[in-house]
Structure 1
Amino acid sequence: MGNSQVIGIDLGGTAIKLGRFTADGTCLQSLTVATPQPATPEAVIAKMVDAIAQIDFERNCIAIGVGTPGPADAQGRIAKIAINLPGWYDVPLADALEAKTGKPTIVGNDANCAGLGEAWLGAGRRFQNLILLTLGTGVGGAIILDGQLFTGPLGAAGELGLITLKPDGPRCNSGNQGSLEQYVSVTAIRRRTGKEPAELGVLAKAGDAQALTFWKEYGRDLGIGLTSLVYVLTPQAVVIGGGVSGSAEFFIPFVKAEIEQRVLPTSRLGLQILPAELGNFAGIAGAAKLAFSKVGA
């Protein structure tokens, strides 16, 4: 299997990213195509098949992994629901791609793929036990235990953004109120400040007092949310990814301070809080890792 290749695909609301990878993590080729609008399952699958043919023109790839914006079933066959994609309910994505490409296919949640990518090639590569939080439009998560992605018996474990932070806080699409996502997502930052995270990062860099205060409060909220997760999972590292992680330098110190204050030393011995390293590349890398696991490479 040393020279085998797979395709990792990251399906998003605006773009579909693909990468062709070798087993040592080298990306030989990548490709981004626009997600068809409306992004019906039929249109997306057709677009994917077309893009796969472009990136695998020599037909060398032995498997396909796909990250989708929502949970997959425990077997990695079905996209159960995809947030922001209309009509995506119980889409048999693996079956459809296998039928059209003849290659074994596995489907996973996009945050889980990002976690796998960071664990394989990014900020998590030195650790066997870590959690990843993606701070984007929503807040996704991934749990890696003993080097393996933990998805639980239903395939839905690791929804770390949906834990309760403040019981009477803003309503969440999940049905929860005051979930972590409602305080630390891009959407929450816009609601709380009227600004974009990148804008607040630029202001903080320039020494703007209001922006610095915002990031301090943001770091506190994130630290309090992570406290629960650290007590339960005692990871060696927490990797912070997603768009908001671009401003990590302004909030990670406050995250650390909160965790040190709230978590018993026995539960956080040697704990590292790290910004993700792979950016938008994490998703396709993790999907490729998933594909290798499917064929036992």
Structure 2
Amino acid sequence: MTQLIGVDLGGTAIKLGRFSLDGALLAELEVPTPQPPMPGAVVITIVEAVQQLDPEGQASCVGVGLPGPMDASGRVARVCINLPGWEQIPLADWLEPQLNRRVTLANDGNCAVVGEAWQGAARGFSDVLLLTLGTGVGGGVLLGGALFTGHGGAAAEPGLICVDPEGPPCNSGNRGSLEQFCSIAALGRLSPLSPQQLCALAEAGDRDALEVWQRYGRRLGVGLSSLIYVLTPELVLIGGGLSAASEHFLPAASAEVEQRVQRESRQGLQIRRCALGNGAGRLGAARLALERLLNV
């Protein structure tokens, strides 16, 4: 039986899943991302992890999600701004002969929104914006039920829009990008505590922790407001590691959107947490492999 492998490459961990053609998870594996995550070291790690996950070679193709834009053909990682040395890396060409399987690449935010549309919270929706909040801020967009990647494959990068032109510099070359206010590092500018500590304190009713999350949520709402005006989605999904604390910051973000976005542009809008958690990216990568390489 033909199977699929989905790989989600992050700054600290690589998450892999082996799936059936209908998206059922058959096996999973998580391995640390090499530090520093140079392309050659990452290739070796992915090859070893795929061989461990699928020793009998039951999967015929592999989808890989990475934090940055790909070329339109899904073969070359054009740039990954939070991974050193990742510029114009022909990752698919490097992986295929070692894996003896066909490989396709995609932006990790695009993978996440495709995964949520296949098996998660975006099922039944045509126009969806997804943000992943973690080491960086990525995302993906569905318009009319189709993944929006733009004419050159680099759209969409919602985490790189500017929310404060005088804000902190971004690895993209921008200043004051949404990523600089909603990533894990940005949260660290609001509090010296870890996200897990802040979440635990907020759950216990600590007023200082709750205020940190509300400030975080308001910044997120500012960025979402601009994106909603452009895209007018039916659904906004929040994923990534920080989404575990969404109950503490989404109310503030939603209130900011309601205040800033006119009613006609947010009619029927829902804002909620992803249903698949950190599993959305690897599932979506597998789905894109299914569509692109098996033409299903």
TM-score, L = length of structure 2: 0.93
Cα pair distance change 1:173/1:27, threshold 3 Å: same
The CA distance in 1 between the partners of 2:36 and 2:266, in whole Å, is: 46
The residue number in structure 2 matching 1:97 is: 95
CA distance in 2, matches of 1:278, 1:182: 25
1:280 alignment partner, SS class: helix
- Contact kept? 2:47, 2:98, Cα under 8 Å: yes
**What residue is the counterpart of 1:16 in the other structure?**
14
The alignment partner of 2:215 has SS state of helix
> Counterpart of 1:221 in structure 2: which amino acid?
R
In structure 2, the residue matched to 1:296 is 295
Deviation at 1:33, TM superposition (A): 2.7
Alpha carbons of 1:192 and 1:38: their partners in 2 closer, same or farther (altered >3 Å)?
Answer: closer
- Equivalent residue, structure 2, for 1:69: 67
Task: Choose which of 177, 180, 186 in structure 2 pairs with 1:179.
Answer: 177
What's the CA shift string for 1:178-211, capped at 9, x where partnerless? 1111111110110122222222222222222222
Alpha-carbon distance between aligned partners in 1 of 2:36 and 2:253, rounded to the nearest angstrom: 39
Name the CA distance, whole Å, in 1 between partners of 2:247 and 2:76.
38
9-18 or 248-257: which moved more? 9-18
Q: Percent identity?
A: 55
C-alpha distance 135-259 of structure 1, shift in aligned 2 (>3 A):
same
CA contact (8 A) 2:69 2:155 kept: no
Aligned length: 295
Letter paired with 2:55: F
**What is the rounded CA distance, in whole Å, between the counterparts of 1:54 and 1:212 in structure 2?**
42
The letter for the 1-side match of 2:259 is Q
TM-score (norm 1): 0.93
Displacement after TM superposition at 1:18 (Å): 1.6
Distance 1:23-1:128 versus aligned 2 partners, 3 A rule: farther
Residues in 2 aligned to 1:6 and 1:251: alpha-carbon distance in whole angstroms: 35
Question: Matched residues in 2 for 1:198 and 1:36: separation?
Answer: 24
Name stretches of at least 5 consecutive residues in structure 2 with no aligned partner: none
1:1-297 matches, cutoff 5 A:
4-294=2-292, 295-297=294-296
In 1, are the aligned partners of 2:81 and 2:171 still within 8 Å (CA)? no
Measured at CA, do residues 251 and 13 of structure 1 come closer, stay the same or move farther in structure 2, by a change above 3 Å?
closer
The CA deviation string for residues 143-168 of structure 1, in whole angstroms up to 9 with x for no partner, is 11122221111211111111111221
CA shift, 1:38, in A, is 4.3
Query: Does structure 1 conserve the Cα–Cα contact (< 8 Å) formed by 2:114 and 2:287?
Result: yes
Quickly say closer, same or farther: Cα 1:269–1:189, change in 2 above 3 A.
same
Quote the Cα distance in structure 1 between the aligned partners of 2:187 and 2:37: 27
Q: 1:212–1:32: structure 2 CA closer, same or farther, 3 Å change rule?
A: closer
Secondary structure of the 2:277 match is coil
Deviation at 1:86, TM superposition (A): 3.6
- 1:96 is paired with a residue whose SS is helix
Distance in 2 (alpha carbons) for counterparts of 1:285 and 1:125: 14
One-letter code aligned to 2:34: P
Partner Cα distance (2:26, 2:266) in 1: 38
* Root-mean-square deviation (Å): 1.7
Change (3 A) 1:89 1:268: same
Matched letter for residue 212 of structure 1:
L
